C-alpha cells in the first residue's frame, strides 16, 4: 500500500531484517572464502562485502532510503555534494563534450565547470532557466552530454520548470535538488534522468555529516558507480549513518522550517531596511505559481537584500547572537551568510551579476528555533537602517 511521504521517510531503506537503528559498519574490508570468492567479489558490480570504496552496508542503506524517497531504481552516495557533481560530470563527459548549465548554480558547481572542466576540454553554455525553451535551444546535437539545473537555485531561489526540463531527450538531464530535499519535489517524476543532493544540508540536517547522493535509473547509477569507484569521493559510513538519521525526521523539520521561513519572509518584506525578499512560496516571488505547483513546501532558505552596502551588512551581522554567521543550511540552527564575500567569493563579476549575487544580498537558513525569536533578533539587528 502506498503511504504518505512522511511515512516513507520513516520506513525508507529498511529491508525488514534490520535493527531499528542502522548499525555502523566501520570497516574498510571484508574477508572472503578464498581466491575464487575474492575474484568474484572484485569483479562484481557494487559487491556488498568486498572493499569500502566499492560498497558499505551502512552507506547502502542510506542509498536505498534516498532511492525510495526519490522514486528511483537506484542511488549512490558520495563524500560530499561536490563529490557527486564532479563524479557525474566526469562519468558522462569526455574531452570535447558539451554541457548546458543553468546560469544560477551553486558556487562550487560553477567553479568546477569553469576550472577543471574547461581545463579538460569540456565546454559549457550557460542559460537562463526562467526563459522557456532555453535549455533545449542550447543543445549541440551529438556533443551535449549533460544538462545541469538546480531548483530552487542558491542563493536567489529561482525556480526551473522540471516538467519542461524532463521532456528533453538526448543529453542526460541532472537536477541539483538540494534546496528542496526529496520531501518537497521529486524531479524523476517529471522525467529528469538524475537527481542529486548535497545531503550535507537538509537531508543530514544537523551540520554533522559531509554527504552527497545521486538517484536515477539503475543503468545510469551503475555507470556512475563504475566511474565513482575510481574517482574515490566515497561516502563515509559515519556520515551515511547521520544522513539516515536525518531522513527519519526530515518531514517534521522541513515543515517547521518552511512555516517559519514564510513568516520571516513576510516580516522582512515589510521592513524599511529591506529592499527585496525572495522565497519560493512568497506571493511576490516572480515564479510563485510554478513554485506552488512544483514544490510541496517553500524550504528553509530565505534571501533578501538590504540598503546601505557592506557597512550596513557588517553592522547587522555584528548585532546577531542567536543567528550564526555561517555558510551552510538546512540544520537546526538559523544561519546567515553574505554570498558575495563567502559562498560566491572569487567568481567573475559578470557571472555574479548574472546570478544576482549583489553587494546587498543576504541568505538566511531558517532553523528550528521559535520563529518569533528569529524575527525579534533580525528586526532588532536591522533597526538602525
* Active-site annotation, residues: 53, 106, 176, 201
Q: Decide: is 87 part of the binding site for ligand PLP (CB under 6 A).
A: no
Which listed residue (154, 242, 287, 297) binds ligand PLP by CB under 6 A? 154
Contacts of 220 (CB under 8 A, 6+ apart): 172, 193, 194
Contacts of 228 (CB under 8 A, 6+ apart): 76, 78, 87, 91, 234
Residue 204 C-beta: closest distance to ligand PLP, Å: 9
- Residue closer to ligand PLP, measured from CB, 198 or 242: 198
Q: Decide: is 247 part of the binding site for ligand PLP (CB under 6 A).
A: no
Which listed residue (87, 103, 144, 178) binds ligand PLP by CB under 6 A? 178
State the cell numbers at 6.
Answer: 512522511
Which listed residue (60, 80, 87, 181) binds ligand PLP by CB under 6 A? 80
> Which stretch of DSSP H or E encloses residue 9?
helix 5-11
- Residue closer to ligand PLP, measured from CB, 81 or 182: 81
Residue 221 C-beta: closest distance to ligand PLP, Å: 18
Residue 176 C-beta: closest distance to ligand PLP, Å: 5
Question: Site residues for ligand PLP, window 198-237 (CB under 6 A)?
Answer: 198, 200-201, 210, 212
Q: Which stretch binds ligand PLP (CB under 6 A): 48-56, 77-85, 256-264, 356-364?
A: 77-85
From CA 375, how far away is CA 260, in angstroms rounded?
9
Q: Decide: is 82 part of the binding site for ligand PLP (CB under 6 A).
A: yes
Residue 344 C-beta: closest distance to ligand PLP, Å: 12
Which listed residue (63, 68, 70, 176) binds ligand PLP by CB under 6 A? 176
**Which is nearest to 295 in space by CA: 186, 158, 148, 190?**
186
Nearest position to ligand PLP, beta carbon: 81
Neighbours of 120 (CB within 10 A): 14
Sheet with 335-337: strands ordered across: 274-278, 301-306, 361-365, 335-337, 324-325
Question: Site residues for ligand PLP, window 107-146 (CB under 6 A)?
Answer: 108-109
- Show the site string, 347-366: x = touches ligand PLP by CB under 6 A, - = not: --------------------
Pairing of strands 172-176, 194-198: parallel
Rounded to 5 degrees, what angle do the CA atoms 353, 357, 359 make? Answer: 100
Q: Decide: is 150 part of the binding site for ligand PLP (CB under 6 A).
A: yes
Rounded to 5 degrees, what angle do the CA atoms 278, 283, 286 make? Answer: 60
For residues 362 and 337, the answer to whether their CB atoms sit within 8 Å is yes
Instruction: Give me the residues that bind ligand PLP (CB under 6 A), please.
Output: 80-82, 106, 108-109, 150, 154, 176, 178-179, 198, 200-201, 210, 212
Amino acid at each position: 500500500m502506498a503511504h504518505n511521504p512522511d511515512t516513507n521517510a520513516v520506513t525508507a531503506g529498511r529491508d525488514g531484517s534490520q535493527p531499528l537503528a542502522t548499525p555502523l559498519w566501520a570497516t574498510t574490508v571484508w574477508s572472503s572464502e578464498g581466491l575464487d570468492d575474492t575474484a568474484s567479489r572484485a569483479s562484481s558490480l557494487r559487491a556488498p562485502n568486498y572493499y569500502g570504496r566499492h560498497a558499505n552496508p551502512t552507506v547502502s542503506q542510506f542509498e536505498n532510503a534516498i532511492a525510495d524517497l526519490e522514486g528511483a531504481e537506484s542511488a549512490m552516495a558520495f563524500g560530499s555534494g561536490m563529490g557527486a557533481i564532479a563524479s557525474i560530470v566526469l562519468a558522462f563527459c569526455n574531452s570535447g563534450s558539451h554541457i548546458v548549465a543553468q546560469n544560477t548554480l551553486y558556487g562550487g558547481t560553477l567553479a568546477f565547470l569553469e576550472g577543471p572542466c574547461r581545463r579538460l576540454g569540456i565546454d559549457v553554455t550557460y542559460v537562463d532557466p526562467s526563459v522557456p525553451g532555453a535549455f533545449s535551444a542550447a543543445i549541440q546535437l551529438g556533443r551535449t552530454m549533460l544538462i545541469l539545473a538546480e531548483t530552487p537555485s542558491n542563493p536567489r531561489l529561482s525556480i526551473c520548470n522540471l516538467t519542461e526540463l524532463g521532456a528533453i531527450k538526448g543529453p542526460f538531464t541532472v537536477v541539483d535538488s538540494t534546496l528542496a530535499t526529496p520531501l518537497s519535489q521529486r524531479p524523476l517524476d517529471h522525467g529528469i534522468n538524475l537527481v542529486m543532493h548535497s545531503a550535507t544540508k537538509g537531508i543530514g540536517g544537523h551540520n554533522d555529516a559531509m554527504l552527497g547522493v545521486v538517484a536515477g535509473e539503475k543503468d545510469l547509477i551503475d555507470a556512475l558507480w563504475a566511474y565513482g569507484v575510481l574517482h574515490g569521493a566515497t561516502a563515509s559510513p559515519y556520515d551515511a549513518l547521520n544522513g539516515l538519521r536525518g531522513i527519519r525526521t526530515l518531514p517534521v523539520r522541513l515543515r517547521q522550517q518552511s512555516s517559519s521561513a514564510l513568516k520571516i519572509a513576510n516580516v522582512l518584506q515589510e521592513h524599511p531596511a529591506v529592499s527585496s525578499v525572495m522565497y519560493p512560496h512568497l506571493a511576490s516571488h516572480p515564479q510563485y505559481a510554478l513554485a506552488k505547483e512544483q514544490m510541496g513546501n517553500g524550504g528553509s532558505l530565505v534571501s533578501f537584500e538590504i540598503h546601505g552596502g557592506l557597512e550596513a551588512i557588517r553592522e547587522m551581522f555584528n548585532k546577531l547572537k542567536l543567528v550564526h554567521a555561517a555558510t551552510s543550511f538546512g540544520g537546526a540552527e538559523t544561519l546567515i551568510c553574505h554570498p558575495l564575500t563567502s559562498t560566491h567569493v572569487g567568481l567573475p563579476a559578470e557571472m555574479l551579476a548574472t546570478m544576482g549575487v549583489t553587494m546587498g544580498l543576504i541568505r538566511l537558513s531558517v532553523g528550528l528555533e521559535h520563529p518569533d525569536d528569529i524575527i525579534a533578533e533580525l528586526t532588532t539587528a536591522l533597526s538602525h537602517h
